Amino acid sequence: MIRNYERYTIFALILLAALLALAGAVLFSPWLWLAAALFLPLSALGVRDLIQRRHAILRNYPVIGHIRFLAENFRPEIRQYMFEGDQDELPFSRQARALVYQRAKGVEDKRPFGTIENVYGSGYSWLTHSATPVHNADSDFRVTIGGSACRQPYSASLYNISAMSFGALSGNAILTLNKGARKGGFAHDTGEGGISRYHRQGGGDLVFQIASGYFGCRNPDGSFSRERFAELSADPQIKMIEIKLSQGAKPGHGGMLPASKISAEIAEARGIPMGIDCISPPAHSTFSTPVGLMEFVGELRALSQGKPVGFKLCIGHRREFLSMIKAMLKTGILPDFIVIDGAEGGTGAAPVEFANRVGMPMLEGLTFVHNALRGAGLRDEIRLGAAGKIISAYDIARALALGADWCNSGRGFMFAIGCIQAQACHTNKCPVGIATQDPVRQRAVDVGDKSDRVARFHRNTMHALGEIAGAAGLADPSDFMPYHFMFRQTTGFRDGNEVYPYLPRGFLLADEEIPGLEDWYDRWERATPDSFAPPEIPFGPFASRRKRRA
């Protein structure tokens, strides 16, 4: 019977110690008040644990049950600093983070003794090098973005800062990133939260992102304001306009910024009132069809006096993207660029199911979009950006080989200004002052020093990109092709041309179908420029072209 109550032993001893200390302090020595000051609060805590109803473990183990919660709170830090290996932790390993830190600080970024990668493990990939490497002295690699309808094309770096909003990041973090972009000569995507005073103060090139909330260019009812957009987009600091259809971390998911978190600065940037919850709908209200999307692209290009206009998305239903292509062909309106975000992309906060199980990973999404545009004969008219855990020169080179014209990174540049992957972005308690609106915490970000690190990280990464391009015998990283890479699978290794092939130009429009591409033709047949909705299938599951012909 006594054994059933052993779990209360520590609490009982604390109570006894408190009583003895209290009695001793009154009867014998005032020094015992120190012991009473320790044990009386612990006794009160134990009583509270016994009567509270929220935590079962505290009701059964008063006082000592808190050790469990304390250990849980410190578990990520203990694991990160004491137990994890160089390749263990996700989303980014210590090896990956260390590479960014070293390049941002300008310290040695070399590794001695050999690779720690499992070069014989499934999923390992590598770059094939040339017997006649070249030396690339200039690493300022750029791409011109802007099609035939664009009057103000933009010369962009091959590596830029991905979309991260003011509100998700602190004012000091935004200012630091933008100043770093100005110093390094590359672009900074505003994210959907609008253009803040910190973006303007930094003076760096901006990609103005417009999402379903139309922050910065909206009417009081939340609809898109053409007048406000025209006024805003005339700013020469804004180089491109990006319509956000979805993001990799939570595609198809809207959001709400509670009124309690809306500061005067956030309200100013977004063009919203204070004291009212701010809603970001899952879908746009300005258009609802593929043709409507292209018409919106054309309208924004006209309102911005011919600046490059494109859209960003994480691939979901592939048929829907083919519907967009058909809308391009029908209207004759082409986006100047498309950014493909991968499901591995990051965000300040996302439901676990969305972060883990919704959306197509970047490599597959990029390959699909690249080949879909090739199949429709539009690839040469539209530039492609890629985003999703791209932090090293190898990551950039691989994306370029699979069809990207340039790459974006969010978390890479966050590491450059001091992010330690504490994964506390949604708590407003970021330990390094980056993902918080706490004015005291964000003081930790020294704008001068950290903006230098942003520019230095970009410069050193571009230098490394030039080196590996030279190792492959290329004078420009834009010349990377799939065959420059090998991919190990469970059955051996395969050439990149086999794993991520470039499909023939115009194959979707050709009179004769190419064997082996039946699934492509199936989706193309079902896509329509006038609706994102799937066609009606009256008799059960869709029978593919291959099955219908059998």
Predicted confidence band at 210 (pLDDT cuts at 50, 70, 90)? very high
pLDDT of residue 544: 61
Report the percentage of the chain scoring pLDDT > 70. 94
For the cut 90, the answer to whether the pLDDT of residue 73 exceeds it is no
C-alpha distances in Å from residue 546, one per residue of 372, 489, 543? 20, 27, 8
- How confident is the model over 200-218, as a mean pLDDT? 96
Between CA 425 and CA 428 the distance in angstroms is 6
Residue ranges of alpha helices (H) inside 185-288 are 197-202, 226-233, 264-270
- Best-predicted range by mean pLDDT among 42-56, 241-255, 360-374, 421-435? 360-374
Between CA 348 and CA 326 the distance in angstroms is 34
Contact 350, 249 (CB under 8 A): yes
Predicted confidence band at 327 (pLDDT cuts at 50, 70, 90)? very high
Contact 304, 241 (CB under 8 A): yes
pLDDT of residue 311: 98
Return the domain boundaries, the chain: 6-75, 144-472+480-499
- How confident is the model over 414-436, as a mean pLDDT? 90
pLDDT of residue 162: 97
For the cut 70, the answer to whether the pLDDT of residue 538 exceeds it is no
Q: Residue 433 region, left (φ>0) first, then alpha (ψ -120 to 50), else beta?
A: left
pLDDT of residue 87: 65
Between residues 290 and 84, the one the model is more confident about:
290
Q: Which residue, chain included where needed, has tokens 């830029």?
A: 160
Q: Which residue, chain included where needed, has tokens 């506390």?
A: 424
Length, in residues, of the chain: 550
pLDDT of residue 255: 76
- How confident is the model over 57-76, as a mean pLDDT? 85
Which CATH architecture best describes the domain 144-472+480-499? Alpha-Beta Barrel (3.20)
pLDDT of residue 7: 84
C-alpha distances in Å from residue 191, one per residue of 159, 215, 242, 244, 433? 16, 10, 9, 9, 19
Contact 242, 163 (CB under 8 A): yes
- How confident is the model over 55-83, as a mean pLDDT? 81
- How confident is the model over 180-203, as a mean pLDDT? 97
For the cut 90, the answer to whether the pLDDT of residue 85 exceeds it is no
Between CA 538 and CA 533 the distance in angstroms is 15
pLDDT of residue 549: 54
Q: What is the mean pLDDT of the chain?
A: 91
For the cut 70, the answer to whether the pLDDT of residue 539 exceeds it is no
pLDDT of residue 500: 96
pLDDT of residue 2: 57
Q: What is the pLDDT of residues 274-294, one digit of tens each?
A: 888 888 889 999 999 999 999
Contact 485, 125 (CB under 8 A): yes
From 49-63, 139-153, 348-362, 459-473, the region with the lowest mean pLDDT: 348-362
For the cut 60, the answer to whether the pLDDT of residue 236 exceeds it is yes
